[in-house]
Structure 1
Amino acid sequence: MSAPDPILELPFDVRPEPEQFLRAALKWHFEPATGSPFWLRIAETLDFDPLTEIRTFEDLSRFPNVANQLRDVPVEDLIPRGYGPKPEITGIYDSGGTTGAPKRVVMLREWADVLVEHSSAQLDAHGVPQGVNWLMVIPSGPHMVGETFHQLVRRRGGLAFTVDVDPRWVKKLIGRGEKAEAELYTEHLIDQLAFTLESQEVGVLMLTPPTLEKLSRRDDLVALVRKKVKAIMWVGTQLDPDTRDLYRTELFPETVFVSGFGNTMTLGHVTERPGLTDDEPCVYDPFSPYMTYRVIDEETGEPVPYGERGRVVMHYVGKSLFLPNNLERDYATRIAPVEGQIGDSIADVAPVKEFDNETVIEGVY
């Protein structure tokens, strides 16, 4: 095991100087003694030297988008050699599989711990209570969201009740034109959710907009949520502003209502910016400098003006993984960053219609 630059191992609430952090990360990932086999192979094909020619986060756009290679690369090749022969791995996680074979990443323990601490602090900023149980109707299995939120609930002193969601099956149903079957599947999720909500103490409900919409049609469950649940966190698919306002002001006016946005290719998730009014869209600030977003014009590759929509490009830079210049399947509105942040903030996130020559189906997650 090799000793990294200490700047790569800071606590979640200490933000490193960005360019010093970037240089340390590049040295870690591209030195033969510490880099991963995956990136050391790619380095041989580049027409620039990452150690000397990449100086700023803007320079990361020089890297090729290698995300598609994560569909079949051996996951062992993604782990930096600097961790030694027995790195502590918390999970191997797949992307959603919306556009064909899933991409696959490795999460190491030290990043998982930093991510959970950051996420917990964000929930505190929204007034989500600690020491309460969560009921989570989200994907588990190969998907990162299930495991990371299990860790988060434990960190916050609660128990986690779960209903498993298989987003790939729902997308297959919709892709075959079997929308009625997809609707029945969502009702099946509600039936399972109801058993736990009726019998257990639940302080936080975490689910997707399609599932929340189904729940809201059942007066008995709406009454139970109002009685028991202190906070609702919605994740996954998009939620239009009018429906969001309806939930916040009419259906669940006494409940904290907060959204989360996550992405496997940035090894994590964030919650919406605290303090937004009912008239403002959900704005997501990245956990920079580890996760950063850019909103670009697809034709020119240049950033669109603030307030305009464009295609989202994401970078992940950290000790456990390096994944720059990943063109995502989402459009978003470019929002000015908060002070000290690297890259853009984003709002009104919605999928493109087609990605990697595959039709994008949003489904239940």
Structure 2
Amino acid sequence: MNAREQADAHVRAMMRWHFEPATGSRYWLDRRHQLGFDPVEDVRCVDDLLKFPNLVDELRDVPVEDLIPRGLDATEKVFAVYESGGTTGAPKRFVMFENWFDQYMAWENSQYPDDGTGHALAVAPSGPHMLGEYSKRIAEARGGIRFSIDLDPRWVKRLLAAGDTAGAGAYVDHLVDQTELVLQSQDIAFLITTPPLLARLAERASSRALIQEKVRLVIWTGAHMDPDTLDYLSTELFPKTRFRGSYGSTSVLSGTVQRTAPESTGDTGDTGDTVFDSYAPFVIYRVVDPASGLPVEFGSEGTVVMNYLTKYGLVPNSLERDLATRVPSPTGAGDSLRNIHPVAEVDGQKMIEGVY
């Protein structure tokens, strides 16, 4: 079978796993007969995942025990319960299993064999957010130690929503102060942070000089970075430092790998564009027309939809708060993404990106 056929077979296997009484979770078994179709009989390929309604908002208050598949044996350990950022209301919760985290990180790390070794500094949220543990595993895979500056992105969003830009700015300055102390005393090769925080670090001359002196690779994630800002940071301010983005979502308990698009074929965009690939067939992205729910043409912009399809959990057709240009994926399963940026509003509510 080719990669697309393997992905379709994986979809069918996951439908059987999550909707059979012996293996499925209480959440999905209870909903099987409410869907208006039979997922085992009617979802036969990647494209059929579009049949699912977007039920992810229900995960704001579902008991996490109801999300755990019955078919998992006692050797499968829950590592953590991670939460979404809470941008559009109460956070949604997702169960991370240790073996899935290991599997995903092994795949991502295998895509970047030339990173070298060294310590990492993460200026990023931990607690209920996946990014904290992700940064620790990035450091460990590169033979280093993870230093960290914690932050509460929800507090920043609350300040901004209340119009307290001075309070939000003071909080970010507090984070930059702490970051400088680590950079001054430690040999940091990898900086893992969000674009808004990276911008503030670049604005301050002292922290900018420390990054220029020490950091070999910046991994940015957790928020939007427009191409002009990325170009300015990587060519004007930090020309000796490599930059890498990772786009992901807590809903699919994973990120992406970044690649540079080949020469334009008329489908993938301009030569040299940055493209993000998911860990297919376990994580599948689609770019759809928000009105029809159907995929847009390659090279066109639409809303990002994510699917998480593992034996550890099922999150189909999760409508994200981001827009992106649709790009053919390397495997033919789902889509890859470029030019990712947040929507302005969700259900009439203005989006506040903050620092994460």
TM tier relative to shorter chain? over 0.9
Q: For the residues of structure 1 that align with 2:151 and 2:5, how far apart are their CA atoms?
A: 37
Secondary structure in 2 matching 1:216: helix
Secondary structure in 2 matching 1:112: helix
Q: For the residues of structure 1 that align with 2:109 and 2:262, how far apart are their CA atoms?
A: 19
Q: State the match for 2:92 in structure 1.
A: 103
Given candidates 9, 12, 36, the residue that maps to 1:23 is: 12
- Map 1:327-342 → 2, pairs under 5 A: 327-338=319-330, 340-342=331-333
8 Å CA contact 1:215, 1:221 repeated in 2: yes
String of CA shifts for 1:196-219, please: whole Å, max 9, x gaps: 000111110111111111111222
User: What letter matches 1:128 in structure 2?
Assistant: D
Q: For the residues of structure 2 that align with 1:188 and 1:333, how far apart are their CA atoms?
A: 36
1:349 aligns with 2:340: yes
With over 3 angstroms needed to count, the CA separation of the structure-2 counterparts of 1:58 and 1:349, relative to structure 1, is same
User: What letter matches 2:63 in structure 1?
Assistant: P
1:308 aligns with 2:300: yes
Q: State the match for 1:289 in structure 2.
A: 281
1:61 aligns with 2:39: no
User: What letter matches 2:72 in structure 1?
Assistant: Y
Given candidates 284, 299, 303, the residue that maps to 2:291 is: 299
Q: State the match for 1:210 in structure 2.
A: 196
8 Å CA contact 1:128, 1:256 repeated in 2: no
Q: For the residues of structure 2 that align with 1:68 and 1:357, how far apart are their CA atoms?
A: 16
User: What letter matches 1:319 in structure 2?
Assistant: K
| Identical positions, percent | 44
User: What letter matches 1:323 in structure 2?
Assistant: V
CA-atom RMSD in angstroms: 2.0
8 Å CA contact 2:216, 2:241 repeated in 1: yes
Secondary structure in 2 matching 1:41: helix
Q: For the residues of structure 1 that align with 2:155 and 2:38, how far apart are their CA atoms?
A: 43
- Map 1:85-164 → 2, pairs under 5 A: 87-124=76-113, 127-129=114-116, 131-164=117-150
Q: State the match for 2:174 in structure 1.
A: 188
String of CA shifts for 1:18-63, please: whole Å, max 9, x gaps: 1221122111111111111111001121222211211111111111
Q: For the residues of structure 2 that align with 1:84 and 1:183, how far apart are their CA atoms?
A: 48
Secondary structure in 2 matching 1:17: helix
Q: State the match for 1:241 in structure 2.
A: 227
Q: Structure 1 residue 343: deviation in Å?
A: 0.8
With over 3 angstroms needed to count, the CA separation of the structure-2 counterparts of 1:180 and 1:60, relative to structure 1, is same
Q: State the match for 1:201 in structure 2.
A: 187
With over 3 angstroms needed to count, the CA separation of the structure-2 counterparts of 1:16 and 1:105, relative to structure 1, is farther
Q: For the residues of structure 1 that align with 2:8 and 2:328, how far apart are their CA atoms?
A: 20
Q: For the residues of structure 1 that align with 2:347 and 2:250, how far apart are their CA atoms?
A: 17
User: What letter matches 1:290 in structure 2?
Assistant: F
Q: Structure 1 residue 86: deviation in Å?
A: 6.5
Q: Structure 1 residue 15: deviation in Å?
A: 9.6
Given candidates 351, 360, 364, the residue that maps to 2:351 is: 360
Stretch deviating more after TM superposition (293-302 or 255-264): 293-302
Secondary structure in 1 matching 2:121: strand
User: What letter matches 1:341 in structure 2?
Assistant: G
Contiguous gaps of at least 5 residues in structure 2: 264-269
Q: Structure 1 residue 222: deviation in Å?
A: 2.1
Q: Structure 1 residue 263: deviation in Å?
A: 0.3
With over 3 angstroms needed to count, the CA separation of the structure-2 counterparts of 1:98 and 1:55, relative to structure 1, is same
Q: For the residues of structure 2 that align with 1:86 and 1:41, how far apart are their CA atoms?
A: 25
Q: Structure 1 residue 357: deviation in Å?
A: 4.4
Aligned length: 348
Secondary structure in 1 matching 2:203: coil
String of CA shifts for 1:261-293, please: whole Å, max 9, x gaps: 120111111132147799744321111111111
Q: State the match for 2:267 in structure 1.
A: none
TM-score, normalised via structure 2 length: 0.92
String of CA shifts for 1:132-168, please: whole Å, max 9, x gaps: 1000001100011111221232233210000112111
8 Å CA contact 1:120, 1:156 repeated in 2: no
Q: For the residues of structure 1 that align with 2:344 and 2:132, how far apart are their CA atoms?
A: 26
User: What letter matches 2:278 in structure 1?
Assistant: P
8 Å CA contact 1:316, 1:322 repeated in 2: yes
Q: Structure 1 residue 227: deviation in Å?
A: 1.8
TM-score, normalised via structure 1 length: 0.90
Q: For the residues of structure 2 that align with 1:134 and 1:359, how far apart are their CA atoms?
A: 34
Q: Structure 1 residue 92: deviation in Å?
A: 0.2
8 Å CA contact 1:100, 1:358 repeated in 2: no
User: What letter matches 1:222 in structure 2?
Assistant: R
User: What letter matches 2:350 in structure 1?
Assistant: T
